[in-house]
Structure 1
């Protein structure tokens, strides 16, 4: 009679055979894995073939030009580190703490160094490091916060580094290739390349300061640390000063800005001569917020004159500011254009003034009570 398990269990020997098969397979796979390198070595060649260097050939022409540009310009670029004096509130001891770093470049043989104003802003001391490793304590010659430009001076007695060749910015074209040299994140003498993305850009200034006008926009990587360094064209000439980036993270996001060299050429000589930059002015007072309100009320574009300074060229030209009459308050003269170039507001007026020098004569297109006329005004030193 056949045996039947009263609980419905399978025969024990069936399970035993199944587990033995599984165990054997696992053991075989483990042994194969263990001896796999030896098996590969058995079937592979006894000696690996030696690798040889593939000849590269000549560098491309544009590569050679970029290398030559960097090697020629590098010695003209400097590294700037700043410190700030801090007083301990308990001991009242004064000590120096690091504040920031930036870049700059040699302006002339007298040891003048040009950089951004924001690189040295708030610092009590600045150290300039040359490409050959020499360090010099720098003295502040002058600064123009409105242009984000500052001039330092170092005493270089021998082996004077070369000054950066000067170019022009009025003839720049969008798409033109350019090169930025500086010290991003403290990394010594770094080269980045790109093109001109746009021209005549503007950036708002800090609270209470005017916007920076006529900037060059570039996609060359500009980061904290190479602010103040030179922006060069393909001939190695200075066409701008790297000044700012547009980036929420603080790193280059493909939108950098540079102060054009034509602005630098107007500002830096004045800073070296007198320690400050004097803006050319019309001798009038304007207000941006009030001007916007008057534009909304009248529906006219331009700049309304609030006040004409006594004895100014604008007063001699017959300009009038806001005045009270029997009919009530009358808005001042409305300036709509300068030398035929229309202006929309106070920012445009300041930008056009900055393109000129003290003593230049400009032709103002003016409207008064619906009548248009032109007046000639000699620009005077601003306050």
Structure 2
């Protein structure tokens, strides 16, 4: 079969047409690109003037500027031994917050911030860093006192009160969340007299609940009221994710102001006591059997305040049955339903204070005055 050859003129015309179309398309594209990237003259936009800051903004700024220098950044480390070489290494452990307590170099923070550490360093707001020594600690209150080798003047926070706080009043937290130093967050008092299980397993009572953002690293930092007074120490958060969920807790300043002086003066906290023995499991069994709420006294120690007040413990009969003794139902008129609540109520007082204890004996309530002794 014979195939015809295309006309050379038509073939050249076709290629010429394609070339012209390609050139036109390229020129059109370059023309648009040149216009798109063509530089235009521009000047900064005019700044819109604003009036004075709102009154609450001014007060918040002033509060932070007044309080900032009182807050410190705490970093801890621990010594570990290499299994093979037996060499001792110091490795970072964690960070937290604290604040200046007085002009003698005492720093207050949470116990869990320094727990398990072999060394702690304190950085002040001016950037200076000092090695700190441990003065004393009270795990049951999650409080600790450090000391650094310098003195302060005018940097301690004014101390407020926590017994008269109201739900809804404004609070301000300053600390170092996630290592972001000197961070201010604000919120309100969300609830009062909360209980929370601490990292050591003990239950911390009388906590302030707040929705001011508190995150890891805030621990040990101050919680302030709108007057810039210390009303608590940020200690914990409730959060499934580990970050702030709007539920934070602070140790109330009334507790701090009672415990810290003892830690500075004695290195430990001496708990006020009635001189009785109690047990969680037996208490639940006895009170459930009697259908009452309170704390069952198991044993009264000899020569104790409870003994002098005539309190009775349980009696074990010959047939191995138990006759319940006195049940403590209130301290100074405030109800106690569990052992932690009893210890927290007693902890509101000092050794040597006289308190009124309400007991249930043979189904009838009685009140006895007891002078507290050291535990």
Using structure 2 for the length normalisation, give the TM-score: 0.89
Query: For 1:301 and 1:342, how far apart are their aligned partners in 2?
Result: 9
| Corresponding residue SS for 2:269 | coil
For the residue of structure 2 that corresponds to 1:266, the secondary structure is helix
Choose which of 300, 307, 317 in structure 2 pairs with 1:308.
300
Q: Which runs of 4+ in 1 moved over 6 A?
A: 27-34
**Aligned residue for 1:346?**
339
TM-superposed CA distance for 1:292, in Å, is 1.1
Equivalent in the alignment of 1:62:
56
**Aligned residue number for residue 174 of structure 2:** 181
CA RMSD of aligned residues (A): 2.3
1:257 aligns with 2:249: yes
What CA distance in whole angstroms lies between the structure 2 residues aligned with 1:229 and 1:195? Answer: 16
1:369 CA displacement: 2.1
Q: Does structure 2 retain, via aligned residues, the 8 Å contact 1:103–1:227?
A: yes
Per the alignment, residue 231 of structure 2 pairs with: 239
Q: What are the ranges of 5 or more consecutive residues in structure 2 without an aligned counterpart?
A: 1-20
Secondary structure of 1:232 counterpart: strand
- Structure 1 residue aligned with 2:5: none
Contact 1:168 1:262 in 2 (8 A): yes
Q: Is contact 1:75-1:161 (8 Å) kept?
A: no
Q: CA deviation at 1:372?
A: 2.6
Residue 120 of structure 1 and its aligned partner are, at CA, apart by 0.3
Distance of 1:249 and 1:279 partners within structure 2: 35
Determine the structure 2 residue equivalent to 1:377: 370
Tell me, in whole angstroms, the C-alpha distance in 2 between the residues paired with 1:55 and 1:65: 21
Deviation at 1:92, TM superposition (A): 1.5
Cα pair 1:106 1:161 within 8 Å, conserved: no
Determine the structure 2 residue equivalent to 1:222.
214
> What is the CA–CA distance in structure 1 between the aligned matches of 2:157 and 2:67, rounded to whole Å?
7
Work out the CA distance in 1 between the residues paired with 2:364 and 2:68: 58
Q: What is the CA deviation profile of residues 55-104 of structure 1, one whole-angstrom value per residue up to 9, with x for unaligned ones?
A: 12221111111111111111110000011011122222212111010000
**Match for residue 104 of structure 2?**
110
Deviation at 1:31, TM superposition (A): 8.3
Moved more, 51-60 or 99-108: 51-60
Distance 2:223 2:239 in 1: 19
Distance 1:46 1:86, change over 3 A: closer
Q: 1:347 Cα shift?
A: 1.8
Instruction: Figure out how many residues of one structure are paired with residues of the other and give that number.
Output: 355
Distance of aligned partners of 1:131 and 1:28 in 2 relative to their CA distance in 1, 3 Å threshold: same
Q: 1:41: Cα distance to partner? A: 7.9
Matched, 1:132 2:126: yes
SS of equivalent residue, structure 1 residue 65 = helix
Q: Which residue matches 2:4?
A: none
Counterpart position of 1:19:
none
Query: Which is worse superposed, 75-84 or 29-38?
Result: 29-38
